[in-house]
Structure 1
């Protein structure tokens, strides 16, 4: 390990729901094929909030002191003896799910379905609200100097939209409806724009998020508090319906609306996970119209595309990061993400202080006390 790497580091450790303490723990020791990364930016995700408030997601249960955070980027601090793709000081994005590489799913290229995936901040695997993490080199990606650490962290939620676009075979010029403009939904708008969708219709109930969606590339925004989304979509498409619909919020009503908004032969992607397991869907409509339904579980083979898209400048992400916190204030960051959805879009935690001069979007750190 490089001599400049300390032996201990700070970590934001969750001991119970809504309780996070800053502790000193050992810096991880890397294996031959692993990279040690000095974490520069970590985005707060909906799954982080779910673990923070409920202590579990489905069968994944927090049973010990636990570290959240998986949307991350940073600098290479040390490399294992067999690592040949990276050098100390390289700026990188981190794909947070390390898979086995030899099961049926991995060999088919659908490694997001690997049964043995080790995913950051998914129990029992600790996450990235720490100063250093280790990860296998094939899940680390170099980023150009023009790409900020914030944007590099956004590649993780962006990847979900890219995966949905690939699964639903989104074509240039096509018409799409995206339900729910949380951070994943907003990055889904970016993905739809990057893939060349001609008409991008979005729905939400928060004006801040709808305005952000417009800046990300939405051509039409629908506030579901004020308008009936299905009627609006039919009006926008002259009664035709959309080619593709993605539901990103995990809202049963939104999923039903997304399905109903499709034209004959349309494609539906289920991105968001609802609280309940079963939701009534119009089966005759699905059968009569030959609707294709796609489940979306994370992503696979998306990071190179994500880096290329964001580095190209085709997508305006500058307004997405609304709040910035130090590692010491991780609990405050989580509380803000939980309680101020009408004011905040993407919240970034900086485990090693604010990013270096020259990265855009990193003026002064905004700390909310």
Structure 2
């Protein structure tokens, strides 16, 4: 992030510890200078960073699709913290404010930004997406408009998970889920569980979650699924007006589209390799297929939803780690079938 002159600071620390992915499967903890906020920015003392599947993918492979590491990279983008310094021209959020960090910086001038689709800005800088460093660090800097104040009702862990909740809120908005909607969520990972909860909060009449892992199906029941199905067992899937596809797996995409009611909407949330779509079925049922990429303009809604208790974020956290344990956090889901969400606490 852009360096600059710090002002109105909290603390005065000059060095920080940072966990750095040097190459696939090798992370070291380094000492680096604390970044100073530039004009329009705030410095945030990081309190919690929840691990995303994309972090694990970079750790394993050093790339996701066309996003490729060409040098060391700091992982982590699901972030909460406390504003610790203000850059030039910034009046708030004031120092000491607890915030959920929206980890992206857009240009503000291109056609997508002007049209309000800033998440599609071709010049976007997103935490932990090469070459932009993320938040496995004690301090980060972000535009002041991307540091969203959170109420005391939200823990630091929950505030960090506003980021993946924003993904689910954006996807549910794309699907226009409302009272009476029958929803199918395919994939019972963290984003799938959040999509399930957001669908419930928006008044869905019936929510089904499909996942081949029994533990994930059990957890989905705990988070409010009306029906859970094992896609490999031939379980009947109730017809769906909306499908939120959260796995990115071809078999799940096929099963999801097969389960649609006429005129349904399928929203592709999960990231995966190229998949094929059954055009005959899409046309015969007049199914709408939509893609999603991150989110825009939804952080305030996600914070309000979490603060209301309609979405249970803290209940999804299953382990905590410090920076020295960053690898353990990244591999938690692989090592422990009970794991849902690992959280790194840099401080």
In structure 2, the partner of 1:343 is 338
Q: Is the 8 A contact 2:161 2:313 kept in 1?
A: no
- Counterparts in 2 of 1:183-222, with a 5 A limit? 183-222=190-229
Q: Distance in 2 between matches of 1:159 and 1:88?
A: 25
Q: Is the 8 A contact 1:190 1:216 kept in 2?
A: yes
Q: Is the 8 A contact 2:10 2:84 kept in 1?
A: no
Quote the offset at 1:319 in angstroms: 2.3
Normalising by structure 2, we get a TM-score of 0.95
Q: Matched residue of 1:319: which SS?
A: helix
Quote the offset at 1:3 in angstroms: 6.0
Q: Matched residue of 1:211: which SS?
A: helix
Q: Distance in 2 between matches of 1:196 and 1:182?
A: 22
Number of residue-to-residue matches in the alignment: 340
Question: Structure 1, residues 223-276: CA drift from partner, whole Å, max 9, x if none?
Answer: 334x324xx114xxxxxx21000110111000011111111100001111223x
- When residues 75 and 265 of structure 1 are mapped into structure 2, their CA distance, relative to the original with a 3 A threshold, is same
Gaps of 5+ in 1: 235-240, 353-369
Q: Is the 8 A contact 2:194 2:311 kept in 1?
A: no
**212, 234, 243: which one aligns with 1:228:** 234
Q: Distance in 2 between matches of 1:308 and 1:73?
A: 15
- Counterparts in 2 of 1:130-209, with a 5 A limit? 130-209=137-216
Q: Distance in 2 between matches of 1:206 and 1:134?
A: 39
Matched, 1:265 2:271: no
In structure 1, the partner of 2:293 is 297
**300, 317, 323: which one aligns with 1:321:** 317
Q: Is the 8 A contact 1:105 1:113 kept in 2?
A: yes
In structure 2, the partner of 1:244 is 242
Normalising by structure 1, we get a TM-score of 0.89
Gaps of 5+ in 2: 1-5
Structure 1 range deviating more: 254-263 or 215-224: 215-224
Structure 1 range deviating more: 311-320 or 193-202: 311-320
